[in-house]
């Protein structure tokens, strides 16, 4: 009988401790809880819904939605639209999301997709959510970037892999973009004399880009070296800044462009 009472007392202590810890989590300042969510992988962000009643739907307002290589490959094992499949899970997460999204990172694993229709919808969705940091790490066939991405005025960072980048004739650039990284990008047609306006750009990387011969940008705040690797068709890079206009003739391996 004494043993049972002791066990009962221990259970009560555990319940009290659990309640206290739950209250601590629930009472975290808003900026701290948001900061925690933004640093977690998406699967862990969703798991926070079991922490307390206050956290049950908090994951739906996280400003950073990241489907990195690890989680995307794991989801792809279930197919695209199967239960817990790659496309289906991302669709569900975005469907339930509320509020703005400042960062969206998606790794598209090596899997069969009939089309990029769903990916286009993701781009449209995050564009409307005011995305500032966008990464599309594509590992399958070339993905043609939709026009909605080119109209994202809030973009500060843009990283693209294995995409088709075909800006419209009237495309003027990204007014707030600070970092631009392009890898395995097909420009489809030469940009000719078009000057892309990137007034806030501080870093540029181009790797294995094709069908671009004369790349002209206006970057008045370019501070760091621009790295250009193995772009076989690229002959000239023209960077216009506040001090002078500099032209560099490039080879097929590497070129340094700086103010």
79 and 190 part of one domain: no
| 69 and 142 belong to one structural domain | yes
Tens of pLDDT, residues 155-213: 999 999 999 988 877 787 899 999 999 999 998 876 666 788 899 998 888 899 988 87
Residues of the domain holding 145: 29-164
pLDDT in tens, 28-62: 555 565 566 666 666 666 666 555 566 666 678 78
Same domain, yes or no, for 66 and 123?
yes
One domain, residues 112 and 228? no
Number of domains in the chain: 2
Residue 4 forms part of a structural domain: no
Nearest to 256, CA basis, from 239, 240, 244, 243:
239
Report yes or no on whether pTM surpasses 0.85: no
Distances 28 to 14, 21, 52, 204 between C-alpha atoms, Å = 21, 11, 12, 39
Same domain for 131 and 238: no
Residue 12 lies in a domain: no
Which of 134, 164, 194 terminates a domain? The answer is 164
What is the DSSP annotation of 46-66?
Answer: HHGGGS-TTTTTGGGG-SEEE
Mean pLDDT computed over 81-91:
91
Q: What is the pLDDT of residues 120-164, one digit of tens each?
A: 999 999 999 999 999 999 999 999 999 999 889 899 999 999 999
Residues 36 and 156 in one domain: yes
Cβ neighbors of 200 (< 8 A, separation 6 or more) are 156, 175, 176, 177, 178, 221
């Amino acid at each position: 009988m004494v043993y049972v009472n002791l066990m009962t007392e221990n259970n009560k202590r555990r319940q009290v401790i659990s309640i206290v810890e739950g209250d601590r989590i629930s009472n975290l300042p808003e900026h701290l809880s948001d900061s925690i969510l933004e640093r977690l992988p998406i699967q862990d962000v969703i798991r926070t819904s079991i922490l307390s009643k206050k956290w049950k739907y908090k994951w739906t307002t996280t400003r950073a939605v990241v489907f990195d290589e690890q989680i995307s490959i794991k989801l792809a094992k279930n197919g695209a639209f199967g239960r817990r499949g790659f496309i289906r899970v991302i669709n569900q997460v975005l469907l339930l999301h509320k509020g703005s999204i400042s960062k969206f990172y998606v790794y598209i694993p090596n899997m069969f997709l009939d089309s990029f229709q769903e990916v286009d919808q993701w781009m449209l969705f995050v564009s409307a959510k005011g995305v500032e940091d966008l990464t599309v790490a594509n590992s399958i066939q070339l993905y043609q970037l939709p026009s909605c991405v080119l109209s994202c005025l809030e973009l500060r960072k843009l990283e693209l892999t294995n995409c088709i980048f075909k800006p419209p004739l009237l495309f003027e650039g990204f007014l707030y973009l600070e970092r631009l990284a392009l890898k395995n990008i097909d420009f489809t047609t030469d940009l000719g004399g078009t000057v892309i306006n990137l007034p806030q750009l501080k870093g540029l990387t181009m790797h294995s880009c094709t069908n671009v011969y004369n790349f002209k940008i206006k970057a008045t705040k370019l501070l760091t070296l621009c790295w250009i690797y193995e772009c076989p068709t690229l002959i000239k890079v023209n960077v216009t800044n506040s001090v002078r206009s500099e032209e560099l003739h490039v080879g097929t391996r590497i070129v340094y462009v700086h103010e």
